[in-house]
Homo-oligomer: A and B are copies of this chain.
């Protein structure tokens, strides 16, 4: 029996990169959180401690910031691909890379009814994400892209039922044909291909998720999520599968009868913990193998 190094990667996490485009008076911004990680021939770094093949995380950081100027920041997926490709091409020891990016969105501040040229306010409906995983060099390199959205807090105040479930001795939940359904949606979808109009695809998927959530009469969060995934796959052939992680954020009807007050579905306590947690994948039955696509995708790996 021997003790050996198994899976490993290392990098610089959470580079808070703020990129301004100021070529005209009408500035625009990309506000990113970029994490890189490298995989490869790093046994000596671990044992006995020889760093000769190691590209320091500090260097990775410098590369991220310099690429933002040298190559600009287009779609997150392209920026991630450019970085991963560079690390693999430039360094023989690097055999794979993961680049994870979050984007925070900003709106222009309204002044006299028009968006200001260079003043912005953070908007809040969801954080765009991507994880680009690349493995192998040159022609042998396979690239996987999993993009998504997180922190998308949504609710519907009717059109949600929950009943007919299995009972046992620990069942105390009352069945209901009208409840509040609320979640902080995390959705991540794996692309089947890499020649995608990433920004357009993202905007469309986000809109479909919101719209389908709104339009689906719900018999369970599971069923809403499934329908949301189904609509995305129906309309986006470039997507192989979509995964959801969605807390069921309980809104409990407050018992006001005790005070002789009627509560016809109007006053709720929004609880913190515990919460339901629904995780589900919707996929094509002929989807390609996921390979390392979900490697290091937070919450889904």
Where the two chains meet, the residues of A that have a C-beta atom closer than 8 Å to any C-beta of B are: 1-22, 27, 29, 31, 35, 37, 42, 45-59, 61-63, 65-66, 68-70, 90-91, 93, 106-107, 109-112, 116, 118-125, 152-159, 162-173, 180, 207, 210-211, 213-215, 218-220, 222-223, 225-227, 229-230, 233-234, 241, 243, 247-248, 251, 254, 256, 258-259, 261-286, 298-301
Contact = CB atoms under 8 A, between A and B. Distances in A.
B62 A122 contact: no
A29 to B, nearest CB: 6
B17 A267 contact: yes
A257 to B, nearest CB: 10
Contacts of A262: 69
A236 to B, nearest CB: 11
Contacts of A247: 13
Contact of A168 (B27, B37, B91): B91
Contact of A265 (B15, B22, B93, B261): B22
Given A7-B281, A55-B165, A277-B35, A153 B121 contact: yes
A154 B111 contact: no
Chain A facing B: main interface SS: mixed
Nearest to A185: B121
A10 B222 contact: yes
A166 B52 contact: yes
Nearest to A279: B9
A291 B271 CA distance: 35
> How many copies are assembled?
4
A14 B155 contact: no
Contacts of A241: 6
A155 B120 contact: yes
A89 to B, nearest CB: 11
19 contacts: A6-B283, A13-B276, A16-B273, A20-B267, A21-B266, A46-B220, A46-B223, A46-B226, A52-B165, A52-B166, A54-B222, A56-B166, A62-B258, A69-B267, A90-B168, A109-B210, A109-B211, A119-B213, A298-B299
A173 B267 contact: no
Given A5-B226, A5-B281, A14-B275, 19 more contacts: A5-B282, A6-B281, A18-B267, A18-B269, A19-B268, A31-B270, A45-B222, A45-B223, A49-B219, A54-B220, A55-B168, A57-B248, A59-B168, A68-B266, A70-B261, A91-B166, A119-B159, A121-B125, A300-B301
